[in-house]
């Protein structure tokens, strides 16, 4: 009887050790998953901060461009009394207005894209990382176009 109790106790002890090892492995797997999730979150938060900084910079560019356009339009409006000067001024204002419209449109598209990207990055776990990266590149292209349009406007304003 004692031998039977010892054998049963040994089997029970072996089963308990096996169960404990299985729980330890499962716990390690969950811990790795939690660390990976934390790493992914940190990366996404970094991308979000970068995109927010770009949005702030773009908003500042838009405000500067609009103020400069208004100032120059006011300056040019005060310049001419003669027909030739007025025609020149009208042509200039037309070119500036067209360039300003392009800047405003491009900056608005950039801002809208960045705001949408911020929303996507805030819920990055719901989207494919490759698609998010492609969308971020698309937004950067929009913002580059806005910068190019602003550069053209500044060149026109220097004329």
pLDDT in tens, 62-113: 888 888 888 887 777 666 555 567 777 778 788 878 878 888 888 888 888 8
Residue 135: what pLDDT? 87
Can you give the residue ranges of every domain in the chain? 40-158
Q: Which of 6-20, 30-44, 98-112, 127-141 has the lowest mean pLDDT?
A: 98-112
* Contact between 77 and 50 (Cβ < 8 Å): no
**What pLDDT, on a 0 to 100 scale, did the predictor assign at position 31?**
95
Alpha-carbon distance of 65 to 107, in angstroms, equals 10
What is the pLDDT at residue 83? 59
The CA distance from 152 to 100, in Å, is 9
């Amino acid at each position: 009887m004692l031998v039977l109790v010892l054998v049963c106790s040994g089997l029970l002890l072996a089963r308990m050790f096996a169960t404990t090892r299985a729980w330890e492995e499962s716990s390690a797997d969950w811990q790795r998953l939690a660390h990976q999730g934390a790493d992914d979150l940190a990366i996404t938060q970094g991308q979000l901060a970068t995109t927010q900084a770009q949005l702030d910079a773009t908003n500042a560019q838009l405000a500067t461009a609009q103020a400069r356009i208004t100032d120059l339009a006011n300056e040019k409006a005060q310049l001419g009394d003669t027909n030739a000067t007025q025609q020149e001024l009208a042509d200039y204002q037309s070119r500036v207005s067209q360039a300003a419209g392009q800047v405003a449109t491009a900056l608005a598209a950039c801002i809208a894209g960045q705001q949408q990207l911020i929303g996507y990055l805030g819920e990055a776990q719901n989207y494919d990382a490759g698609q998010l990266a492609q969308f971020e590149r698309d937004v950067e292209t929009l913002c580059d176009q806005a910068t190019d349009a602003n550069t053209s406007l500044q060149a026109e304003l220097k004329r």
